[in-house]
Structure 1
Amino acid sequence: MSAVYYTLGVVVFVVAILVSIGLHELGHMIPAKKFGGKVTQYFIGFGPTVWSRTRGETEYGIKAIPLGGYVKIVGMLPPTVDAVTGVADEVTYDEQGNQVVKVRKSNTGLFTQLISDARAAEWEHVKPGDADRLFYKMPWWKKVVVMAGGPSVNILIAFIIFLGVFATYGSRSLEPDAGRPVIDTVSACVIPYVEEGRACTKDDPPTPAVEAGLRPGDVITSFNGTEITSWEQFRALIRGNESGKAVIGYERDGQALVGRTSTTVQARPTSEKDFSLTQVGFLGVTPVAHVAITRGGPIYTLQQMGTMAKDTFEALGKLPVKVWGVARAIVGLQERSPDSPVSIVGGGRIAGETAAHQDFPIAEKLVFLLMLVAGFNFFIGMFNFVPLLPLDGGHIAGALWEALRRAAAKLRGRPDPGYVDVAKLLPIAYVVAVAMLIMGVVLIVGDLVVPLHIES
């Protein structure tokens, strides 16, 4: 039965992500068509076409590799314009008098050739009568709406899911009871953080807490002469003590006792939000705690998403380093960090393990899966707003620069500088695309070779 639940969890997650991808592309396609643009293709996935149907001027379909999707909007790249005459490379007219622009290929360098080839490929889709429907000719604000539509849909999906969870189930966290910490559990042995959950072996040393004689129910009163008033204070003192001597005062059944030991140094998460490992002092106890539940509506959800956005921007800045860590873990040079990024393969695996977990109530499984889908959507949305081609944010940045440049020229009484030629940024786009491909492959391999698992 667990295999059935595992498969169900994977299928639900994958289908949810594919639906999200489809809605993302609709976020581009619908406004593009509303603004009169020509959309020739709408596909979910990449690679060989599995199924497609043409409706009107648009081909709709599904491809074999479900790792994304795309919408083909005609006229994304403008033709080359002569710097002196301001005339496009070559202009001809069809029998009806419609202007048709042809792009000459250039052989004056690698990057120039790449740009020229991209223009040529782009303009193969331009037909007579399309002159007024080309994307690059749209007003800048329409370009922003079209390109922002996709990632905005992902963020909207995340908001709807988060709102539903926060308003009903609530945001839940395990909080230590107020006042002096009461010991809930004492770890029998020192196990590396990345191996937590396994049983002790004869090679694992006892924890300092065991050596100090601590037991569940003991009330901590002091640490190295400092009076203890809260778990947070006690935890900070332990972490800062590194491998130093530790004199622990505690009460048991109303009797004041003292335990002596030395804390050991172990790699532990830097904080509750930052899971990167830091060498800190370790004792081996957990406090008596309770589940704190906070429920809220739209404002609370937006506040939470604001914090998530900040964390996401920080994570994007560390993404190359994190992926490098996954690559090192694949070849056995280090353990995989618990906060390392995962691909859709890893997300599906985590979804399957959650669905099959025997100790999780149905409600918690459902909430976890919903939050997993919402988290992926939020990250995809934020990632696509990064102002680099080929991401949506690169096109948005180009449209905003066009608006700024034209406004500045108008204020100075100078001629209209015309459209921003995003084709000139294609070399950067190719580098970014290759980097994204490499990171994607590393994460997929990592999720197969050194996968992350949910905590037991």
Structure 2
Amino acid sequence: MEQLMWVLGILIFVVGLLFSIAWHELGHLSTAKLFGIRVPQYMVGFGRTIWSTRRGETEYGLKAVPLGGYIRMIGMFPPGADGRITKRSSSPWRTMIEDAREASYEELQEGDDTRLFYTRKPWKRVIVMFAGPFMNLILSIGLFLTLFMGIGIQTAVPTVKEVSQCVVKVGEPTDSCKADATPTPANLAGLRAGDKVLSFDGTKIDTYPQLQDLIRHSAGKSVPIVIDRKGEQQTLNAAIITNTLAALDKDGNPIKGKTDDVGFLGITPANGVRHLSLSQSADQMAGMARTGVSSLVALPGKIPGLWHAVVDGTPRSTDSPIGMVGAARLGGDVFSMNLPLTQKLAMSVNLLAGINLALFLFNMLPLLPLDGGHIAGALWESVRRTFARLFRRPDPGPFDVARLMPLAYVVAAVFVAFTGLVMVADVVNPVRIN
């Protein structure tokens, strides 16, 4: 049964990924058609076509490898300076440029002269190329809101799960009490498992992070704690002591290898489901976006860790990059865990939402062949033409993005190599949910 649920989790993830890809390409397709650009193909996946159908002038299809997708637009690049669309040099760089130019006119038909991508105004081209990543952003926001406001998130709540009997140093097990060990303030105050903390030192408690922060800043104080115990309110008094605990970052997560001397009560919080408000959800998503940008910037620095994970079997770090194979495995791991269905759905929704956010951020990089590269080319063309008008100079014409194709091939080769390394790491040394 566990194996069956693992396969089911992978299938659910793959279906979600295919929808995300199709949704992305739909953004490009709909805006291209809106601006009168001819689109011969709309494909989800790469490789061999396993199904397709033609509707009007566009062929819609599904390909064998679900790792991306594309739409084919006529006239992505302008003709060369001489107006021709043929190879004119034996130079390998020139060949790359003209191959790309030729491919963008492969299905040119009579009457397409007014339906070419490059003939559209720069702002229209920006909209067409931005629409794909924007669809991923919209989907990510929708999934996150469904998770935060609808399903709810598993989080620590201000209810006591366990009371530590004695004070121990950071990293030591809480049940390692010696005969002469100092009792914790929670133990001395009479706190019990199941007590819900309503207020701490006169401050109403809504979340555990709020309670945790108050405790850590109350060292040396004797504070009243109002609790709900089996429906009855009681007030207990605890003398908060100083203890050496793990240092926390601004998000409340432990900082590896760092400690702080802070206030200590001696309780372990219970976990519960918390539904966020719209503003809280927005704050949570903003934090995720900042983390996503930081992770993207730090991506090159993760390569040595991936290499050692493959070659030496070094354990993967919790922030190690994962690819679609690794994400699919995580989807399977989620559904094979002994958890309530709502928690499995919540984790799966969170995974798909995070992937769509990553697809948006990644595609916005101003590098060809990514959408952000085409956006950068259109914006640069707009700047050149604006300056030409201001200084009464001749129109420089469309910016020839095809001239950047050699760089695009280098970028694509780097992406393929990195993707291959991540895929191998995901197979031989995968990231696991702890």
TM bucket normalised to smaller: 0.7 to 0.9
Counterparts in 2 of 1:55 and 1:206: CA distance versus 1, 3 Å:
closer
Q: Which runs of 5+ in 2 are unaligned?
A: 190-200, 202-210, 218-236
Answer whether contact 2:187 2:266 (CA < 8 A) is retained: no
One-letter code aligned to 1:54: R
Instruction: State how 1:11-50 maps to structure 2 within 5 Å.
Output: 11-50=11-50
* In 2: Cα distance, 1:408 partner to 1:325 partner: 47
Instruction: Name the residue aligned to 1:107.
Output: 90
* In 2: Cα distance, 1:292 partner to 1:232 partner: 20
Instruction: Name the residue aligned to 1:200.
Output: none
* In 1: Cα distance, 2:416 partner to 2:88 partner: 28
Counterparts in 2 of 1:214 and 1:402: CA distance versus 1, 3 Å:
farther
SS in 1 for 2:49: strand
Are 2:98 and 1:89 aligned? no
Question: 1:128-182 deviations in whole A, cap 9, x for unaligned?
Answer: 321111101111111011111111111111111112222223345326779xx98
Question: 1:251-294 deviations in whole A, cap 9, x for unaligned?
Answer: xxx999x999xx99xxx9984869898434699x9842245835
1:384 to 342, 360, 363: 363
Answer whether contact 1:398 1:422 (CA < 8 A) is retained: yes
Instruction: Name the residue aligned to 1:149.
Output: 131
* In 2: Cα distance, 1:71 partner to 1:185 partner: 63
Instruction: Name the residue aligned to 2:315.
Output: 335
Counterparts in 2 of 1:427 and 1:183: CA distance versus 1, 3 Å:
farther
Instruction: Name the residue aligned to 2:150.
Output: 168
CA-atom RMSD, angstroms? 4.0
* In 2: Cα distance, 1:325 partner to 1:292 partner: 35
Answer whether contact 2:42 2:70 (CA < 8 A) is retained: yes
Instruction: Name the residue aligned to 1:97.
Output: none
Instruction: Name the residue aligned to 1:198.
Output: none
Counterparts in 2 of 1:125 and 1:207: CA distance versus 1, 3 Å:
same
SS in 2 for 1:123: coil
Answer whether contact 1:105 1:120 (CA < 8 A) is retained: no
1:116 to 81, 85, 98: 98
Instruction: Name the residue aligned to 2:301.
Output: 321
Instruction: Name the residue aligned to 2:6.
Output: 6
Deviation at 1:403, TM superposition (A): 1.4
Q: How many residues are treated as equivalent by the alignment?
A: 397
Answer whether contact 1:151 1:380 (CA < 8 A) is retained: yes
Deviation at 1:66, TM superposition (A): 0.9
Instruction: Name the residue aligned to 1:375.
Output: 354
What is the TM-score normalised by the length of structure 2?
0.78
* In 2: Cα distance, 1:69 partner to 1:185 partner: 57
Question: 1:222-242 deviations in whole A, cap 9, x for unaligned?
Answer: xxxxxxx98569989xxxxxx
Instruction: Name the residue aligned to 2:328.
Output: 348
One-letter code aligned to 1:293: R
Deviation at 1:317, TM superposition (A): 0.5
Instruction: Name the residue aligned to 1:55.
Output: 55
Answer whether contact 1:190 1:207 (CA < 8 A) is retained: no
Deviation at 1:5, TM superposition (A): 1.6
SS in 1 for 2:362: helix
Counterparts in 2 of 1:182 and 1:165: CA distance versus 1, 3 Å:
closer
Question: 1:88-141 deviations in whole A, cap 9, x for unaligned?
Answer: 334xxxxxxxxxxx3343224x32221122222322332332111110111111
* In 2: Cα distance, 1:446 partner to 1:187 partner: 41
Q: Which runs of 5+ in 1 are unaligned?
A: 82-87, 91-101, 192-204, 221-228, 237-253
One-letter code aligned to 2:298: K
Are 2:383 and 1:404 aligned? yes
* In 1: Cα distance, 2:62 partner to 2:273 partner: 44
Deviation at 1:40, TM superposition (A): 1.2
One-letter code aligned to 2:7: T
